[in-house]
Amino acid sequence: MLHRRTFIKRLGANAIGLSLYPALPSFMHHPTGAASLPRSTPEAQGIASGAILAWLEAIRASGQEFHSIMVVRHGHVIAEGWWYPYSPEHKHDLYSGSKSFTGTAIGMACDEKRLSIEDPVISFFPKERPVEPSANLASLKIKHLLSMSVGQETDSILTIEKTPPGDSWEKTFLSLPIVYEPGSRFLYNSGSSYMLSSIIGRVTGMPAHQYLGPRLYEPLGITGATWTQNAEGVNMGASHLRIRTEDFARLGQLYLQEGRWENKQLLSKEWVALASKKEIVTGKDDSSWGYGYGYQFWRNPTGGFRADGAYGQYSMVFPDKDMVVAILSESADKAATMQTVWDHLYPGVKESSRLPPDRNGHAQLQNALKGLTFEPPKGNRHSSLAASLSAATYLLDANPFHVRAVSFGFTEDKAVLTIMEGGKPDIVITCGLEKWIVDGNYKPSEHSLFSLRRIDFDSPVAASATWKDDHTLVLTFRFIETVHGDTLTCSFDGDKLRIQFLFSAARLEKRADDRADITGTRMPLKGT
């Protein structure tokens, strides 16, 4: 289960380089479809192109790994960009940004009179509730789940995800002590969001994802979204929703427009007001999380509110600026990521609804946005070992991944890794030599060599290779519909092979990977 974590260490010098202005082809494609938001220039919507350029420079200086950005002003997209190999057509994991969709489902169910935020939680779970519920559990209401004020001492997701097979997550949640009076204090609790998702299933007879289909996704033009379910068929609620960058911006725009979309009220104004105002105090400090929490939305220090997910997934709504900012990223320091918006973009948005055209400034902005990229790691493109390795297969020693053997192949501009698992088809991943090659056929969910703790669903992979030295091959993978990536360092010493792992989250946190090295021995060639 993927639950919210805070990372405060800055990105180290060993991170893959972020470059704003390389001479690369554009990957800034406008999505197609009737529901795509209209495009405009910043000046036509009252923002100087230079203000957005200054924000891009602040992003570069922050050292955080942004994957995509989109700025919407007065209902028009005025800036959008993807750091290659990320691109508009790919979905992206939202982590806890998913919670705002779960809260939206509750709002729509309230609008349809299927439930009320005053309803007791145990009323939806007659078979799972304790025989004699405590007073605090009996008084727990939907509104307390929404505002993260259940009264439990720790995030319940850490317990309910360990529920034994045959028992339900709901029963586990309801069995946990509620120490404090519901509504009296804030504790970020992903288990609350799971319970909200489960309640949607109980009152509608369908998972939250299915319920949102005709009510939210279709009207907003969101297609191809996926949302993981647990073994009971309940969408995770707290996490695991995957949508495109513009789709995330559309959710923010719907809330900015007080629930109205193309002359239809999808979500009541009353719900938008409830969900977006401060329902509970979250802290006394001046951090980005100290300004209060609504119903599955955080409040912004500058005003407005946001959907907020681990590693920096945001749909920020600024009613005073009539603006939405969507960010998808893998940030080591979420506060630093948001600070680029508070300090650099937000102040640059003036009250004027229109500015004079700035052709030069806009051209510079477009060039910067089109050139966003993550440079693949670079060392040496060639090794004297490459020719001999192309005919070699390495039989691996016993390992927890159940990988039997690996082999390598090399051409002038590619390196091919083949992974052989017992009883499964070979996995073949083609890596560009010091460039990215994107392959949509790899299925991480079916194989365990890579870190399945956070890469637990299928995703296209962008892969590159470089030689650190004549005996060390570095393979880098970005699973571009997840948040994360992985690095395999393959060291060759005579007939011996050692593979070391470095998951991207470990790299960002400057810690060792928790997977042990695996080793192997070169198999003799046939006929020798």
pLDDT average per 10 residues of sequence, the chain (528 residues): 29 31 34 70 95 97 96 97 96 97 98 98 97 97 98 96 94 98 97 98 98 98 95 96 98 98 96 98 85 97 96 97 97 95 93 89 97 95 93 92 92 93 84 93 63 70 96 95 94 96 90 92 75
- Rounded CA-CA distance 292/125 in Å is 30
Residue 52 phi/psi, 5-degree rounding, is -75, -35
- Rounded CA-CA distance 103/275 in Å is 8
**pLDDT in the model for residue 74:** 96
C-beta of residue 295 within 8 angstroms of C-beta of residue 302: no
What are the DSSP E strand ranges found in 400-484?
Answer: 403-410, 414-421, 427-433, 437-439, 461-469, 472-479
The DSSP result for 152-189, as a single string, is -SS-THHHHTTPPTTS-HHHHHHHS---S-TTSS----
What number of other Cβ atoms are within 10 A of residue 37's Cβ? 20
Query: What is the DSSP pairing of strand 313-318 with strand 518-522?
Result: unpaired
* 3-class DSSP state of 243: strand
Q: Do the first three CATH levels of 91-243 and 386-522 match, i.e. the same topology?
A: no
Closest of 489, 514, 511, 510 to residue 500, by C-alpha:
489
- Rounded CA-CA distance 508/12 in Å is 7
C-beta of residue 370 within 8 angstroms of C-beta of residue 487: no
CB neighbour class for 139 (10 Å; exposed up to 12, middle 13-18, buried from 19): middle
Element (H, E) at 99: helix 98-111
**pLDDT in the model for residue 227:** 96
**pLDDT in the model for residue 4:** 31
In the chain, domain spans? 22-85+245-261+312-374, 91-243, 386-522
CATH number for region 91-243: 3.40.710.10
Residue 181: both structure tokens together: 């009076």
- Rounded CA-CA distance 436/477 in Å is 9
Query: What is the DSSP pairing of strand 414-421 with strand 485-493?
Result: unpaired
- Rounded CA-CA distance 303/314 in Å is 15
Among the residues of 393-514, which ranges form H helices? 504-508
C-beta of residue 519 within 8 angstroms of C-beta of residue 397: yes
Within 8 A by CB and 6+ apart from 206, the residues are none
Residue 440: both structure tokens together: 């949509």
Out of 3.40.190.10, 2.60.120.430, 2.40.50.500, 2.40.128.20, the CATH code matching 386-522 is 2.40.128.20
C-beta of residue 109 within 8 angstroms of C-beta of residue 200: yes
Closest of 124, 227, 121 to residue 183, by C-alpha:
121
